[in-house]
Amino acid sequence: MSVLIFTELDNGAIKKSSLEAVFYGAELAKLQGTSATVLAIGEASAEELAKAGNFGATKVLHANDVRLAEANIQAYSSVLGQAVAQEGSEVVILAKSSLGDAVAARVAGKLKAAIVSNVTALPNLENGFKVNRSIYTGKAFATVELKTDKKILAIKKNAVAVVESSDLATVESFSTSLNDADFGVKLVATHKASSTISLPEADLVVSAGRGLKGPENWGIVEDLANALGAATACSKPVSDLDWRPHHEHVGQTGIKVSPNLYIAAGISGAIQHLAGVNSSKVIVVINKDPEAPFFKAADYGIVGDVFDILPRLTKAVLASK
């Protein structure tokens, strides 16, 4: 009857957003008087997976079939369904992500489970099972009641305040039963972003728009990002012009981010861009136009030339280290 948490791996380590989901799942398990079990699929060391215990998990099921080295949605969904059956879990927790969304939808169909995405807080269990979720791209919240026996919650990134411990989880090999139907879709290639920091996972993001005037000027954006240890991003017009790769496009039709700090340089702040960033905890806008719409959504605003402000910010960051 444990709460089961599906986690994603990146280079043999559990992703930060998945660790937030582990902590959430462990806290929910406490409320229900049960334990938290993690499912990890893919190659990783037992020592690394045991660190899930730092976030409250008591056990990790490790499915390391060679055929699961790549994130195959059908196969991953089958493995998760088998883990739910083995553990007798009534609640499945995972981080909201492109992979998580696809896996959760398939498993919900198989289990006839209710599914809620963008969950921002622990459920209210006093009269049923009610959770709060973010809606309208973060502009409002809704309370949803789940009435099915099986429930799946996708946790919004940065919505959970994680507290770590020094505890370790036990790691067990999880034997799966997979057939050809689980691999009906074949993954033929994976193209990963060249940045060392994953944009969806980043706590700090430095983003820029057409105010940079051309790709040859992007060095000042990268300098600030490197100084902060941040990921880089861009507006849709910039990626459409091929100034920056499309995997850096942030907005309604691109990647949606929820960093602790989002710095926007030379971006006017169209509603489509705001839809992808307004879950950021702190937004800093730099623009020479004092009437730029982005200032209305900013926590801090700097009216000035990005070619002057960004190098000065980089110098200040470096000097503080």
CATH no. of 3-183 = 3.40.50.620
111 within 8 A of 81, measured Cβ to Cβ: yes
Model pLDDT, residue 191: 61
Decide if 3-183 and 204-320 have a common fold.
yes
- Does the pLDDT of residue 2 top 90, yes or no? no
Q: What band does 193 get if pLDDT is binned at 50, 70 and 90?
A: low
**Boundaries of every domain in the chain:** 3-183, 204-320
Q: What band does 192 get if pLDDT is binned at 50, 70 and 90?
A: low
Q: What band does 198 get if pLDDT is binned at 50, 70 and 90?
A: confident
Q: What are phi and psi of 190, to 5 degrees?
A: -130, 125
Which structure tokens are listed for 33? 């008087």
Query: What is the C-alpha separation between 75 and 70, in angstroms, rounded?
Result: 10
Whole-model pTM: value is 0.84
Residues in a beta bridge with 163:
none
- Does the pLDDT of residue 185 top 80, yes or no? no
Model pLDDT, residue 273: 95
pLDDT digits (tens, 9 = 90+) for 117-141: 999 999 999 999 999 999 887 778 9
Model pLDDT, residue 180: 77
Location of structure tokens 């839809």: 275
CATH architecture of 204-320: 3-Layer(aba) Sandwich (3.40)
Reduced to 3 states (helix: H, G, I; strand: E, B; else coil), residue 165 is coil
